């Protein structure tokens, strides 16, 4: 885009850009200290890199637990300038959320006012700020951009964007599949090989780095998530459809807002179906949803981002269509309807909850932060600590961490996939184990370790709902641990 075209775009989209960036910027500033547990895994990798320990979660142990290579690389580049990992990750999330909102608005809406409404709905919805620190908003932006480039038949740029999408999150392959199949259906031939050059180079470079640096082509997190779904330990049945927790988490415990979103969003879908790109976006969501549902992927809230994103865009389109239809018939009715909708949204919690005034976790998970700081202050610097939730505790404790679920350590994810909650003790015998009280299912080995005397509670560790177990120095402790590693007797 040359300077003249850039000036023209800025002039034509001034309202869209100003409102999107202003609202998104305000809410991002409000959540600038937000720390999602899994996001702190990224930051610990990067902190170790900038501290001279390499791109590792535990210094000296090159194991690839980075879900999103591209997001990690962008964080590294940005932090070279900012030297503040916390604010860097929030800033990047804000930039890409605004980019996703603007790009999505151009994709599904027409006219500057309709586009502005769509983008405003995206950046004002509190759900997205609860994903900050992850690769989520980057993934949404690249998905929307890929669909726009495909519609414009800019296939060289599309290949590059799809390559970036694949190394942002592997689920992007579903969008690539949809677009390639649609190209074949429309043209009765596969895309020219030249369009595959950019994504192949990007993927090959990423795989080569992974293999050289970590000894494996792919991050371990993909298999770990699939293993978690296979294990059934996160729930039985189609657990990705268990979304009841979102009522309290993102709707303020009030379903009136959802009662508005569903019919208005349906209007947006039905009035947009003539656009082929809309059908492709819906097919992408169907494939993505089927992957999560039928492979029983745990229902972590950030996995729902594409569904919220496109759903809210359709809400914006539907709302604009309803208001436009009413305005064409009666301006007075349109004013009354607008006032009614404003009142309804305000009383249903949209203003209070969606605009970030409430229900956004402002900082870290306090209990995990406090536990991590306690561990740092009260254990030796070379202590090894095992836990099932490692992001916040690992970040604040600054200790060598064993992830019982295997996202950042070898072996454990395979044990979890086979519902084996004990064999991790054959590979690791940490100095301390952080467990919940009562125990979570993943911590079942703690019962045996305590009963055998291999570990004992740290009495001065006083955090309600948690216990810190310390390995015994007594003779025979290793044998007791090996016995527990065999699991319960049947």
Per-residue pLDDT of the chain (490 residues; tens, 9 = 90+): 577 787 888 888 889 999 999 999 999 998 999 999 999 999 999 999 999 999 999 999 999 999 899 999 999 999 999 999 999 999 999 999 999 999 999 999 998 999 999 999 999 898 999 999 999 999 999 999 999 999 999 999 999 999 999 999 999 999 999 999 999 999 999 999 999 999 999 999 999 999 999 999 989 888 888 889 989 898 888 999 999 999 888 887 778 888 888 999 999 999 999 999 999 999 999 999 999 999 999 999 999 999 999 999 999 999 999 888 887 777 777 676 676 666 555 555 555 555 554 555 555 688 999 999 999 999 999 999 999 999 999 999 999 999 999 999 999 999 999 999 999 999 999 999 999 999 999 999 999 999 999 999 999 999 999 999 999 999 999 999 999 999 886 4
Shared domain check, 383 and 336: no
Q: Which of 296, 326, 354 is the last residue of a domain?
A: 354
Domains in the chain, number: 2
The verdict on 343 and 397 lying in the same domain is no
Q: Are residues 226 and 78 in the same domain?
A: yes
Task: Specify whether 311 is located in the same domain as 176.
Answer: yes
Could you say which of 296, 323, 354 is where a domain stops? 354
Structural domain boundaries, residue 419: 366-485
User: pTM of the predicted model, to two decimals?
Assistant: 0.94
What's the order of all strands across the beta sheet hosting 384-387? Answer: 400-403, 384-387, 432-436, 466-471, 455-457
Whether residue 248 sits in one domain with residue 160: yes
C-alpha closest to that of 357 among 128, 137, 125, 132: 125
Residues 270 and 380 in one domain: no
Q: What is the dihedral of CA 380, 382, 384, 387, to 10 degrees?
A: 70
Residues 118 and 229 in one domain: yes
Check whether residue 437 and residue 464 sit in a common domain: yes
End position of a domain, from candidates 299, 331, 354:
354
- 393 and 331 in a single domain? The answer is no
309 inside domain? yes
With respect to residue 359, please indicate whether it lies within any of the assigned structural domains.
no
125 Cα distance to chain centroid: 16
How big is the CA angle at 45 (ends 249 and 100), to the nearest 5 degrees? 50
Pair (206, 349) in one structural domain: yes
In the block, residue with structure tokens 């800033």: 91
Length of the chain: 490
Give domain status of residue 57, yes or no.
yes
Residue with tokens 């980019």: 99
Residues 372 and 428 in one domain: yes
* 490 domain residue, yes or no: no
CB 184 within 8 A of CB 158: no
Q: Is 84 contained in some domain?
A: yes
Specify if 398 maps to a domain.
yes
- How far is Cα 470 from Cα 483, in angstroms, rounded to an integer? 17
In a domain, 284, yes or no: yes
230 & 318 share domain: yes
Token pair in block for residue 127: 């759900």
Task: Tell me whether residue 360 is in a domain.
Answer: no
């Amino acid at each position: 885009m040359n300077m003249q075209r850039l000036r023209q775009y800025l002039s034509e989209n001034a309202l869209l850009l100003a409102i999107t960036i202003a609202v998104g910027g305000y809410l991002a500033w409000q959540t600038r200290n937000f720390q999602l547990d899994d996001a702190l895994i990224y930051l610990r990798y990067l902190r170790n890199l900038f501290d001279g320990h390499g791109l590792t979660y535990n210094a000296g142990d090159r194991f690839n637990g980075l879900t999103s290579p591209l997001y990690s690389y962008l964080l590294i580049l940005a932090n070279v300038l900012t030297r503040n990992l916390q604010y860097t990750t929030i800033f990047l999330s804000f930039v890409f959320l605004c980019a996703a909102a603007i790009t999505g608005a151009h994709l599904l809406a027409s006219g500057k006012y309709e586009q502005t409404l769509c983008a405003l709905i995206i950046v004002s919805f509190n759900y997205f700020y609860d994903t900050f620190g992850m690769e989520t908003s980057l993934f949404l932006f690249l998905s929307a951009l890929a669909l726009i480039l495909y519609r414009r038949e800019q296939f060289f740029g599309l290949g590059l964007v799809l390559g970036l999408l694949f190394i942002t999150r592997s689920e992007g392959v579903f969008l690539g599949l949809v677009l390639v199949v649609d190209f074949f259906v429309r043209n009765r031939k596969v895309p020219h090989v030249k369009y595959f050059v950019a994504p192949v180079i990007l993927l090959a470079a990423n795989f080569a780095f992974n293999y050289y640096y970590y000894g494996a082509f792919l991050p371990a997190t993909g298999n770990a998530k699939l293993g978690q779904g296979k294990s059934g330990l996160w729930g039985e049945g189609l657990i990705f459809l268990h979304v009841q927790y979102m009522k309290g988490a993102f709707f303020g415990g009030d379903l009136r807002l959802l009662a508005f979103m569903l019919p208005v969003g349906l209007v947006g879908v039905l009035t947009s179906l003539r656009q082929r790109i809309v059908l492709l976006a819906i097919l992408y969501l169907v494939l993505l949803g089927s992957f999560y549902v039928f492979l029983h992927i745990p229902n972590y809230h950030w996995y729902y981002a594409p569904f919220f994103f496109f759903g809210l865009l359709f809400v914006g389109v539907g709302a604009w269509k309803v208001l436009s239809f009413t305005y064409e018939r009666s301006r007075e009715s349109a004013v009354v309807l607008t006032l009614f909708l404003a009142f309804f949204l305000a009383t249903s919690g949209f203003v209070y909850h969606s605009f970030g005034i409430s229900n956004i976790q402002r900082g870290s998970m306090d209990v995990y932060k406090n536990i991590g700081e306690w561990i740092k202050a009260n254990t030796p610097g070379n202590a090894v600590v095992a836990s099932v939730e490692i992001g916040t505790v690992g970040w604040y404790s600054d200790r060598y961490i064993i992830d019982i679920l295997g996202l950042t350590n070898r072996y454990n994810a395979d044990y979890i996939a086979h519902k084996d909650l004990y064999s991790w003790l054959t590979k690791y015998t940490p100095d301390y184990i952080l467990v919940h009280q009562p125990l979570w299912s993943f911590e079942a080995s703690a019962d045996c370790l305590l009963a055998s005397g291999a570990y004992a509670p740290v009495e001065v560790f006083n955090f309600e709902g948690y216990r810190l177990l310390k390995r015994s120095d007594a003779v025979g402790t290793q044998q007791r641990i090996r016995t527990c590693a065999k699991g319960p007797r049947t």
